[in-house]
Structure formats: structure tokens, C-alpha cells
Amino acid sequence: MADLDLNLLVALDALLREGSVARAAERLNLSAPAMSRTLTRIRTALGDPVLVRAGQGLVPTPRALALREQVRAVVRDATALLSPGTPTAPERLTRTLTLRVNDGVIPLLGNALYQRAREEAPGLTLRFVAEGTEDVESLRDGEVDLDIGVQGALGPEIRVQRLGEEPSVCLVGRASALAKGRMTLERFARAEHVVVSRRGRLRTPLDAVLEEHGHERRVTAVVPNLLAAAALVARTGALAVVNGGFARAVSTLMPVRERPVPLPLSPIVVAQVWHPRFDRDPAHVWLRRTVKALCDEPRRLLSP
């Protein structure tokens, strides 16, 4: 890679990430013809096609695959080295910070965090992106600054800070018959259930707990996110099992209310995670401290 300058390495990294000239061009704010010319220069410098056509798309060559991690590391380190120093005072910060959250966190935390940013760090832009693969690589590369939610398996170097925990509750429409009277296990099991699953799964761990108590439930709808579940139960006689913090927050926005789940369910633990290379970055420090402080406010967000 001796003949590749930093700009070509950045372009090569984008091409290997996207597997598409058009998407790589969009990533780098270039035109597609300019990116095509850059790919030609990269091919000449490496003496390798780098990307070859396969059906309707492009796939990397073995040489490109072998270089991918090395290129990514060089670009990441060079970007960090050449980035200008960040002012430490929050009011002087001018950055875009990317937070990966599920839609349940937005009504729970988004408004308060937005207001705090406007008051203390008005130069910051908060970019909320939806959960997807939840890959650790996006934290390592800085594509995601902070991940907030229920955390799964993480890389050994990833920092984790517990924000709090919430019980599971039933979310029902205020006009629903389920909003009145005692929520017994039999009544809960007989109700129409709306399941939240990004992957469209009908069955969740709740079904196993129900079966242990001699009951089954009927799932009548599956939706991809919590807000969709709330919107659905608001006007129907169905219920959805959600975390208590989300139920409290969404009940101020929609005609819904929370009811207890008549089962012993483990609380939902929420944490924020980030890569240690941002441990001392002033913008990241402000963001993490602010998120934690907001979550520690009694019953406003997550209850510790």
C-alpha cells in the first residue's frame, strides 16, 4: 500500500465497507463518476481489481479482503491523529454525536436529552439511529458514539455503564376493558397480545414463563417497535408487554395506561456502551454524564 495516499485509503475503506461505488460516493459526499475514477486509481496502485461484479452487485477480491482490516485501522488512526482538538467547555462543542437506541428510549430519554443539549451544548447535533445489527465494529469505528439499550454480547474492550432497570408491564388502551378490574393470570393469558419483534418473531421468552404456569397466549399481531405496539393497543382491546419506563412516557403521548404483569418476570436492565478511545473525549464525556444524570433523576427516566 506504499503508493496509496490517505485520500485513496479513505476511499478504499468506504468501497470495502459499502461494496458499492454509488454508496461509497454518498458516504464520502462525492459524485459516482468521481468515485469510479478513484477506484481506477486504487486498482492501478494495488495491481488488483479490488471489487469485481457478481450479479447485480460488487464483491471484494481476496486481496481486498486481506487488506480490509488493515485499511480500516489506518484510516481510523489517521483520522483521530489529524482531527483538530476539541474544546472542553460544553457550550463550545460543535459536533454531531450518534446515539444508537431503540424507539422505546426516544420518549423515555430523547426529549430530556435534547433539552439539556440545547441549554448546555447548543452546538451539538444529536443523531439518533435505530437498532440494527448492534455490531461492536460500529462502536470501534466511531460510526456510533453511544449505544443505549438492553445490551447483548460485546467486545472485551467495550465500556459498559448501567443506567437502570425497569419492570415489565402490560400496556393497554385507556378505553379497553383490560384497563379496568384486576389483571389476573387467566385474564392476561386470554387477552389478545401484540408482540414487539424487529425480526417478526411470534414467540418470546414470555411464552415459556406462561407455559410454566400452565397457560398459553394468543398473539394477534407482531410489530417491529414499541411505538407501533402502543399505537395499536391504544385503539383496540389488545395488550402489549413493555418496560415500565416506556409505558410511563408513552402514556403522556397516547391514550394508553400500564397494568401489572401477573407473572414473575426479570427486570429489564438498560446500559450505555462506548469504545474506550472516547473515554476522555470532551463531547463524549458530556454526553455520557448527561445521559447518566438524566437516568438517575427519580422516576423521570429509568429507576435504578
Give the model confidence (pLDDT) of 217-271 as tens digits: 999 999 988 999 999 999 999 999 998 888 988 998 899 999 999 999 888 888 9
Number of helices followed by number of strands (H, E) in the chain: 12, 12
Do 193 and 237 have their domain in common? Answer: yes
> Is 117 a member of any domain?
yes
Please give the pLDDT value at position 81.
64
Do 280 and 248 have their domain in common? Answer: no
pLDDT at 302 over 80: no
Do 292 and 233 have their domain in common? Answer: no
Domain enclosing residue 35, as ranges: 6-82
Do 188 and 40 have their domain in common? Answer: no
Give the model confidence (pLDDT) of 124-137 as tens digits: 999 988 776 556 77
Final residue of a structural domain among 63, 82, 101: 82
Q: By mean pLDDT, which of 46-55, 96-105, 219-228 is the weakest?
A: 96-105
0.95 exceeded by pTM: no
pLDDT at 149 over 90: no
The count of domains in the chain is 3
Provide the CATH number for the domain around residue 119: 3.40.190.10
Average pLDDT, the chain: 86
- For 93, residues 6+ apart whose C-beta sits below 8 A from its C-beta are 86, 87, 121, 123, 124, 282, 283, 286
Average pLDDT score over residue span 89-102:
87
Final residue of a structural domain among 82, 117, 139: 82
Q: By mean pLDDT, which of 54-68, 83-97, 202-216, 275-289 is the weakest?
A: 83-97
Final residue of a structural domain among 48, 82, 116: 82
Beta strands in the chain (DSSP E): 51-54, 57-60, 96-101, 125-130, 146-149, 159-166, 168-173, 192-196, 218-223, 239-243, 256-260, 268-274
> Is 41 a member of any domain?
yes
Read off the pLDDT band of 4 (50, 70, 90): low
Read off the pLDDT band of 85 (50, 70, 90): low
Supply 213's cell numbers: 404456569
Do 215 and 69 have their domain in common? Answer: no
Share of the chain above pLDDT 90, in %: 43
Do 234 and 287 have their domain in common? Answer: no
